[in-house]
């Protein structure tokens, strides 16, 4: 009986093993070929400038301003890497490598890939097994994580620019160890690892969306951001930036307003900026100050500065009894129009020129203030008009955010090599977007979401 039972058991076990083997063979035959591992497994960690999972014609054009060698390459659905290499004593250059999963003319087999490179020097970097690999480097791991579709950039190799706007971007990236550009169906992201954030205060994670608004920006600590940029950029560029800001303040608020002593103190707590760009740029700023006395004095100085700015200087000639002539300069205020009003729980003062419409509107409510150059826009902001849209969900601290329609800002936006490389798809998009700057640990993420 025992022998019969063992015989039956062996038959059943044999059948199970045969079935498992047959199923395994069938799965091996039917399963699709696995893609090769990421090129990061063979790329050197210290010499890799960028890794694109694939690259379109538009993306090539976006980065050609920073890396001219990309201008002659065709679009590719396979990965592309940029690497820096030594070209002699004190000389470095940047080359490219395209990774194919099948044989390609002019390519060499490196690991699981068939690689075509711009020079033997680039190929030598890939073949050198003595160097650390990008896949194991912490900056790459923390920047890209499991998002294989993200573009990886090493900030230390990004070329410097003499353009002021690019230098400001470079300043914000100082200290970063890796960048990652991501794209989804709903928008785009720029992740910055390691850089210190010039912003510290959190803002609300929603925005009032209005159809004709070109920009809404809620910023946690604009004064600290300005001081960070001013301290970090080169002295020559600092002078240019200060001059541009001073000119803008004088044109907008009058010649007697100091950006440092009047405007910056208003920006030390979270503020909301709203701007339109129809027949000209109009704006409104809403914020708060702890010291209400200082806030009231500042608003009064802004009003007095605008009064003097809009008043015309007239020459008045007089002849006294002893016939001595005198010429006096006098301000003509007859074209000034000053109105006071209420909006919700706000007290408003509007100063404007009767003929040109140029002017200033200020509003107060407790420890809150509002400033603008268009009364209708300011009232809309105070009433909270529009549809409230949330952005930046999750547990990360939201340091800034809002709404932007770049199509409305084309007249004031200039394309620079850095802006096009980091934000090319965003600059090409036509339509409203929400944007946000969030931070978790030492990782800052700039996000744009389609509305």
The tens digit of pLDDT for each residue in 375-423 reads 999 999 998 887 777 766 665 788 898 899 988 887 777 888 999 999 9
Residue 121 burial class via C-beta count within 10 angstroms: exposed 0-12, middle 13-18, buried 19 and up: middle
The tens digit of pLDDT for each residue in 263-277 reads 999 998 989 999 987
Give yes or no for a contact between 298 and 266, defined as CB atoms under 8 angstroms apart.
Answer: yes
> In Å, how far are 287, 403, 408 from 387, measured between CA atoms?
20, 12, 19
> CB under 8 Å to 252, separation ≥6 — which residues?
283, 373
Going by C-alpha positions, the residue among 40, 364, 67, 71 that lies closest to residue 180 is 40
- Higher-pLDDT residue of 292, 332: 292
pLDDT band, residue 292 (cuts 50/70/90): very high
User: How many CA atoms does the CB half-sphere of 120 hold within 13 Å?
Assistant: 0
Q: Give the pLDDT score at 356.
A: 83
Give yes or no for a contact between 262 and 298, defined as CB atoms under 8 angstroms apart.
Answer: yes
Tokens at 230, concatenated:
């001013």
The tens digit of pLDDT for each residue in 341-359 reads 998 899 999 999 888 888 9
What is the Cα–Cα distance from 412 to 118, expressed in whole angstroms?
38
Please tell me whether residue 178 adopts helix, strand or coil conformation: strand
What is the Cα–Cα distance from 315 to 422, expressed in whole angstroms?
55
Percent of the chain with pLDDT over 90: 42
Please tell me whether residue 171 adopts helix, strand or coil conformation: helix
Instruction: Please report where in the chains the tokens 């509002």 appear, as a residue.
Output: 370
What is the Cα–Cα distance from 264 to 253, expressed in whole angstroms?
13
Please tell me whether residue 228 adopts helix, strand or coil conformation: helix
Going by C-alpha positions, the residue among 167, 197, 194 that lies closest to residue 178 is 194
The mean pLDDT of 71-75, rounded to a whole number, is 89
Selection from 67-76, 244-253, 294-303 with the highest mean pLDDT = 294-303
Lowest mean pLDDT among 220-229, 331-340, 413-422: 331-340
Phi/psi for 384 (5° steps) reads: 70, 40
Going by C-alpha positions, the residue among 433, 409, 451 that lies closest to residue 278 is 409
Q: Give the pLDDT score at 323.
A: 56
Give yes or no for a contact between 81 and 99, defined as CB atoms under 8 angstroms apart.
Answer: yes
Q: Give the pLDDT score at 327.
A: 45
What is the Cα–Cα distance from 324 to 318, expressed in whole angstroms?
8
Strands 206-209 vs 108-110: parallel, antiparallel or unpaired? unpaired
What is the Cα–Cα distance from 268 to 262, expressed in whole angstroms?
12
Q: What is the DSSP letter of 72?
A: G
> In Å, how far are 93, 95, 187, 387, 440 from 90, measured between CA atoms?
10, 17, 42, 58, 39
Tokens at 179, concatenated:
């960048």
Q: Give the pLDDT score at 58.
A: 94
Tokens at 273, concatenated:
């900026």
Give yes or no for a contact between 207 and 389, defined as CB atoms under 8 angstroms apart.
Answer: yes
Q: What is the dihedral of CA 53, 56, 61, 64, to 10 degrees?
A: 30
To 5 degrees, how large is the angle CA 48–CA 50–CA 51?
Answer: 100
> CB under 8 Å to 183, separation ≥6 — which residues?
149, 189, 425
Q: What is 380-408 written as a DSSP string? A: HHHHT-SEEEE-S-SSSEEEEEEEEEGGG
What is the Cα–Cα distance from 207 to 436, expressed in whole angstroms?
11
The mean pLDDT of 180-188, rounded to a whole number, is 92
pLDDT band, residue 31 (cuts 50/70/90): very low
Residue 111 burial class via C-beta count within 10 angstroms: exposed 0-12, middle 13-18, buried 19 and up: middle
Residue 228 has pLDDT above 60, yes or no: yes
Domain range summary for the chain, segments of one domain joined by +: 39-193, 206-450
């Amino acid at each position: 009986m025992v022998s019969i039972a063992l015989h039956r058991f062996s038959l059943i076990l044999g059948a199970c093993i045969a079935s498992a083997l047959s199923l395994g063979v069938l799965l091996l035959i039917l399963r699709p070929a696995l893609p090769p591992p990421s090129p990061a497994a063979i790329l050197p960690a210290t010499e890799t400038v960028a890794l694109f999972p694939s690259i379109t014609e538009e993306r090539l054009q976006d980065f050609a301003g920073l890396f001219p060698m990309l201008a002659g390459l065709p679009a590719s659905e396979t990965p592309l890497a940029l690497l820096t290499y030594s070209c002699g004593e004190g000389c470095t250059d940047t080359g490219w490598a395209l990774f194919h999963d099948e044989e390609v003319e002019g390519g060499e087999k490196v690991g699981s890939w068939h690689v075509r490179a711009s020079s033997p020097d680039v190929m030598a970097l890939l073949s050198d097994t003595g160097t650390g690999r990008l896949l194991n480097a912490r900056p790459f791991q923390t920047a890209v994580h499991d998002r294989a579709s993200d573009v990886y950039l090493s900030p230390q190799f990004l070329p410097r620019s003499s353009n002021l706007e690019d230098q400001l971007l470079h300043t914000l990236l100082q200290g970063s160890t890796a960048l990652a550009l991501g794209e989804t169906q709903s928008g785009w992201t720029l992740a910055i690892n390691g850089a210190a954030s010039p912003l510290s205060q959190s803002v609300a994670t929603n925005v009032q969306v209005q159809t004709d608004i070109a920009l809404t920006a809620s910023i946690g600590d604009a004064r600290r951001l300005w001081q960070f940029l001013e301290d970090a950029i080169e002295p020559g560029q600092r002078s240019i930036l200060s001059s541009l800001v001073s000119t803008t303040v004088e044109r907008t608020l009058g010649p007697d307003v100091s950006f440092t002593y009047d405007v910056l103190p208003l920006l030390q707590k979270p503020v909301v900026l709203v701007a339109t760009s129809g027949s000209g740029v109009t704006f409104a700023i809403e914020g708060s100050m702890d010291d209400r006395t200082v806030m009231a004095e500042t608003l009064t100085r802004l009003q007095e500065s605008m009064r003097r700015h809009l008043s015309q200087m007239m020459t008045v000639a007089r002849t006294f009894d002893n016939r001595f002539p005198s010429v006096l300069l006098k301000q003509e205020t007859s074209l000034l129009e000053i109105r006071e009003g209420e909006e919700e729980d706000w007290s408003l003062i509007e100063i404007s020129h009767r003929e040109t419409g140029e002017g200033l509107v200020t509003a107060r409510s407790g420890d809150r203030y509002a400033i603008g150059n268009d009364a209708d826009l300011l009232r809309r902001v105070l009433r909270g008009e529009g549809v409230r849209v949330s952005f930046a969900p999750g547990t990360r601290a939201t340091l800034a955010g809002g709404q932007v329609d770049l199509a409305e800002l084309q007249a004031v936006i200039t394309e620079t090599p850095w802006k096009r490389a980091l934000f090319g798809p965003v600059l090409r998009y036509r339509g409203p977007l929400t944007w946000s700057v969030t931070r978790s640990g030492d990782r800052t993420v700039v996000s744009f979401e389609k509305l």
